[in-house]
């Protein structure tokens, strides 16, 4: 069982995805659990403020330390072993090997920043800074979903075929999936390669090996 506790101001942006398709199935089968913490509940003052202007000036608002620390500590009080992930464009670029490693642990807290950034001291409570790529998103929710999806699908029993995740793209090193075809044999003149119709398993395996992509 893997658990993700997501600290966010926008639970409604996350829920539809996590309640659909394979993520829903993983929960139903007791293989994954998703929990939400509303950062607003840890906000300060009558407006439950979670952000403030930067010292030294500059545009935008930054996530404040107090609500973030209090929210994370409320989760860690129940499970001190939970590891904290911060999606940030300056983190380590996420890849399949990291997804495989993460799939072996039990409880992650994902802090979804919003606004223009966060107080640097927040990093002292973070275990992993993760970037989804060299572009800037408005918040951590989309990265959280991508991290969760890529990890949960590797949990044995989540995908349909026992070995789907094992034989598929990336899983045995840097092999990308080979091209695949289903019916019809001829679609608008585009034909399925003859070897795949041959029933010769040795030749098929060879063809697939030859046509597997490689990551740069
Ligand atoms: N937050 C904003 N942009 C991001 C990115 N590219 N990766 C992870 N978190 C982000």
Q: What is the largest CA-CA distance in the chain?
A: 72
CA of 188 to the centre of ligand 1 (A): 41
> Does the residue 39 lie in any domain?
yes
Asked if residue 107 and residue 9 are part of one domain, the reply reads yes
Tell me which residue of 169, 183, 186, 177 sits closest to 208, measured CA to CA.
177
Asked if residue 133 and residue 33 are part of one domain, the reply reads yes
Ligand 1, closest atom to CA 138? Answer: 2
CA of 128 to the centre of ligand 1 (A): 13
If one counts the domains in the chain, the total is 2
DSSP secondary structure code for residue 212 in this structure: -
End-to-end CA distance of the chain: 33
Residues facing 155 on adjacent strands: none
Per-residue pLDDT of 88-122, as tens digits, reads: 999 999 999 999 999 998 999 999 998 689 999 99
CA of 190 to the centre of ligand 1 (A): 40
> Does the residue 83 lie in any domain?
yes
CB 95 within 8 A of CB 67: no
Per-residue pLDDT of 166-195, as tens digits, reads: 545 555 544 578 999 999 999 999 999 999
Range of the domain at 200: 175-214
Q: Could you tell me if the CB of 87 is within 6 A of ligand 1?
A: yes
Asked if residue 48 and residue 146 are part of one domain, the reply reads yes
Global pTM value: 0.91
Q: Which residue has the tokens 């007791």?
A: 30
């Amino acid at each position: 069982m893997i658990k993700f506790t997501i600290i966010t101001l926008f639970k409604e942006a996350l829920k539809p995805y996590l309640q659909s398709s394979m993520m829903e199935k993983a929960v139903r089968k007791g293989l994954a659990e998703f929990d939400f913490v509303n950062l607003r509940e840890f906000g300060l003052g009558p407006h439950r403020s979670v952000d403030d202007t930067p010292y030294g000036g500059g545009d935008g608002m930054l996530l404040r330390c107090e609500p973030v620390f209090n929210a994370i500590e409320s989760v860690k009080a129940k499970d001190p072993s939970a590891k904290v992930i911060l999606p940030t464009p300056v983190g380590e670029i996420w890849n399949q090997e990291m997804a495989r490693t993460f799939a072996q642990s039990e409880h992650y807290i994902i802090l979804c920043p919003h606004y223009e950034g966060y107080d640097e001291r927040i990093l002292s409570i973070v275990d992993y800074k993760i970037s989804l790529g060299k572009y800037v998103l408005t918040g951590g929710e989309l990265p959280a979903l991508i991290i969760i999806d890529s990890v949960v699908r590797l949990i044995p029993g989540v995908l349909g075929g026992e070995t789907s995740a094992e034989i598929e793209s990336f899983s045995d090193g840097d092999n990308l999936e080979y091209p695949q075809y289903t019916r019809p044999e001829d679609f608008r003149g585009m034909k399925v390669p003859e070897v795949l119709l041959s029933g010769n398993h040795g030749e098929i395996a060879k063809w697939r090996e030859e046509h597997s992509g490689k990551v740069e």
